[in-house]
Every structure is written in C-alpha cells, then in structure tokens.
Chain A
Amino acid sequence: EPEVTQTPSHQVTQMGQEVILRCVPISNHLYFYWYRQILGQKVEFLVSFYNNEISEKSEIFDDQFSVERPDGSNFTLKIRSTKLEDSAMYFCASSPPGLSMNTEAFFGQGTRLTVV
C-alpha cells in the first residue's frame, strides 16, 4: 500500500542551525501539507502546497520556514535558523486529486525535531 515517508525519524540540532525535513508523498497526489505537534499540544497546520506553490500558510509559518518540491517526488520543509520552540513532531501529508475538502490526507510517521 502506498505511503508517505518522512526522513529522518528524529533530528537533533543546535539552536540557530538550519534543518531540512524531508518527505516523499504518495506518487499521484497533488496536495501537500506540513503540520507540527508540540509535545502534549494540538496538531497545528503549517502550510499547504499545490501546483508548485504555497496555497495557504498559517501564522506559525514565518520567514524562517520554507517549502520546496525540488524534483517532483520530494517535498521538503526547511527551517532556516532553529529556535528552542521549534522542537516538535513534524508531519507531512498528501492528498489525491479531487475536491480537496472531501478527500482524506495521508500522513507520514513524522520527524521528531529536537532543538538544543
């Protein structure tokens, strides 16, 4: 069964460093998302991506964040200069073609980012 894969599963980085979280969405999907979950808190929307551009982003997704789909298969989230409060589980998701609000999103296993 096709699945969304994320690497690495756990990333430890020093404050101020850049990190890139990688995702391989399901191959025929057209909508891509990043969410994050700070430990014990809710799952928060960061950004959605369609047709090679950002379609929506939340207040959390400031200038420190960027997304890319560099080669038609990978979907990356970059944090330019990490802060302690960026420590969270980051989930990538993708959705197939169709009316986006009715179609489910398929999630990866997540990358746990720890900023020290």
Chain B
Amino acid sequence: GNSVTQMEGPVTLSEEAFLTINCTYTATGYPSLFWYVQYPGEGLQLLLKATKADDKGSNKGFEATYRKETTSFHLEKGSVQVSDSAVYFCAPNTDKLIFGTGTRLQVFP
C-alpha cells in the first residue's frame, strides 16, 4: 500500500539555520506530493505541493522538489524563523492524502 516515511523529530534549530526534513514515499501510480504544516493548536494547512517529476513547490521560503527516481520530496528552508516552529507532514496523494507521523520543528532565538 501507499506509505510515507519522514525523519523523526523533534528537529531543533537556532534561528537563521538551514532546515532539511527528509521525506520518502511508496505509492502506486504517480502521486502528487504535498507538504502540510500544523501550527500549535491549529489544523493542517497546505505549505506547498508538486504534481509531477522535477517540479519544485515553494512557499514562505520553503522548497521541495519532486524526485521520482528516489521517491523523495525533502523539505528545505535556507533560514528558519521562530515562527516556523510547527509540525510538518509530507503527504503523497494518489486518490487521497496519506500522512506519516510528521516532524516537529523547534526553532529557538
């Protein structure tokens, strides 16, 4: 079946540090790929998406590139802020979104 694997958290960084959160997936067919973010006390919000191989999704300084050959969609940001502290979910979508456990990011000033 379809599944997603993310690096375990928490990821703890100082402000302005570089962020990478790894995501690999298994899926039948050709999924679209999404990153969702969950800020404390809130629901899941779309952060970015990519719908075909080599597409790069980007939003709020975050980027992720659809790598079909490695079935990966790693999330990166060049300089994180305290306000980026949240839980991040990678989610492939064939006919529904499949989520993993998420990766908690904690950014300290």
Smallest CB-CB A-B distances: 4 pairs:
A43-B99, A107-B44, A109-B43, A42-B101
Are B49's CB and A101's CB within 8 A? Answer: no
Residues on A with beta carbons closer than 8 Å to the beta carbon of B97: 33, 45, 93, 105
**B69 CB-CB contact with A under 8 Å:** no
Give the interface segment out of B16-24, B60-68, B77-85, B88-96.
Answer: B88-96
For the complex, what is the distance from the CA of A110 to the CA of B96, rounded to whole Å? Answer: 18
Q: How far is the CA of A43 from the CA of B96 in the complex (A)?
A: 13
Contact residues on A (Cβ < 8 Å of other chain), bracket? 20 to 34
**7 A-B residue pairings within 8 Å (CB atoms):** A48-B96, A56-B95, A100-B93, A101-B95, A104-B34, A105-B46, A107-B43
**Shortest beta-carbon distance from A29 to chain B in Å:** 14
Closest A residue to B99 by CB, please name it. Answer: A43
Within the complex, the shortest CB–CB distance from A107 to chain B, in Å, comes to 4
Residue of A nearest to B29 (CB): A101
| Secondary structure class of chain B's binding surface, majority of residues | loop
Contact of A42 among B36, B94, B96, B99 (CB under 8 A): B99
How many residues of B are in contact with the other chain, CB < 8 A?
22
Q: Which residue of A lies closest to B34 (CB)?
A: A104
Interface contact tally, CB-CB below 8 A: 53
| A101, B44: Cβ atoms closer than 8 Å | no
Contact A108-B43, Cβ < 8 Å, known A101-B93, A101-B95: yes
Contact B32 A45 (CB under 8 A): no
A113 to B18, CA, bound (A): 37
Q: For B31, list chain A residues within 8 Å (CB).
A: 101
Question: B residues within 8 A CB of A104?
Answer: 34, 46, 49
Interface residues of A in 63-98 (CB under 8 A from B): 91, 93
Q: Is B7 an interface residue (CB 8 A)?
A: no
Q: How far is the CB of A54 from chain B (nearest CB, A)?
A: 12
Q: Tell me whether A51 is interfacial, beta carbon within 8 Å.
A: no
| B residues near A106, Cβ cutoff 8 Å | 46
